[in-house]
Structure 1
């Protein structure tokens, strides 16, 4: 007799690959009229391309240029970034931490994938992975090495656990040779990963 599939778990019919699963769910929700694909594309484009990490890069570049702004950012990042218009979902409570010669900061969300969307855009896939979330707490230097970052032994590494209550922005060290560069030029040296702490700012 042929096997009866009528009682199988319907979730088992979804593709195993995450991207395919997302596409299947999107198609299903669109067919039911629960989402508008055009609106969804607009949201994704906003965070991935128009916002992306540019907002965060602007904040960091300004902190490099303006000591008073930097001090205010370190004291109350939520207020400073809100005053710049960078607030909203996933960015309600912000803390800025600064990389120095003696301390390097790196951010993770050990429970899920809390991330400052208004400043950094859509989180990268690796940020949400179990491997990153588990390893960076136990062996942050090895994780940094995997990203191509090797720090002096005297530089301490501090891991910050992002939560639903607070999210972090890393202010990377300003590279040498950037004297005289304006805000727009400095922004090109600041990557998303450098504001998570898994990269350094680029040399000019």
Structure 2
């Protein structure tokens, strides 16, 4: 019997079943408190993560004063929206333009701005991504579906324990009348 036969009546995916089983075992052994796990999950779903970064980007797109502040002091501008803390103490915002595209990598480990982007994706922490992003950024971007004209300069920023980066993408055409809330939904 394979996994799909065993679980074909469940609405949970294989990974969800594994997580639930692991959580049950750890709870039974007294290693974790389910309420604490629920609180952590809720925090990353609602207060930490990509939705925060989307709000920062949308505000920069709709409020030139905020965008200027973000360029000058990203840490303070981001904190003004309530997004601060560990892994986001020293932020720098860089903006994509029609002639320059920014890419972030941490060549030593996986420094990532958790308060605004959440936990780093697995690929971001992988050694192949970290080395290829520096050696062949255009090729790596193409693998993610981002094909840029040869005339577009690609700038690679090395995130560190001291400095973390947030890339502000180019605002999509046709969104001038959109609210920041609607734009934030687009970014996520």
2:180 is aligned to 183
Secondary structure of 1:97's aligned partner: strand
Find the counterpart in structure 2 of residue 163 from structure 1.
160
Q: Is 1:57 aligned to 2:54, yes or no?
A: yes
Q: For residue 196 of structure 1, what is the aligned residue in structure 2?
A: none
Give the aligned length: 172
Aligned counterparts of 2:34 and 2:63: Cα–Cα separation in 1: 42
Q: Which runs of 4+ in 1 moved over 3 A?
A: 22-35, 48-51
Residues 50 and 87 of structure 1: is their aligned pair in 2 closer, same or farther, counting only changes over 3 Å?
closer
Identify which of structures 1 and 2 has the higher relative contact order when contacts are C-alpha pairs closer than 8 Å and 6+ apart. Answer: 2
Q: CA deviation at 1:45?
A: 3.1
**3-state SS of the aligned residue for 2:186?**
coil
Residue of structure 1 equivalent to 2:7: none
Q: Which residue of 1 aligns with 2:170?
A: 173
- What is the root-mean-square deviation in Å for CA atoms of aligned residues? 2.4
Q: Distance in 2 between matches of 1:122 and 1:95?
A: 18
Deviation at 1:98, TM superposition (A): 0.3
Gaps of 5+ in 1: 1-21, 192-204
1:133 equivalent to 2:130? Answer yes
Pick one of 97, 102, 117 that aligns with 1:100.
Answer: 97
Q: Give the structure-1-normalised TM-score.
A: 0.76
Q: Match of 1:120? A: 117
Residues in 2 aligned to 1:91 and 1:52: alpha-carbon distance in whole angstroms = 11
CA drift at 1:81: 1.0
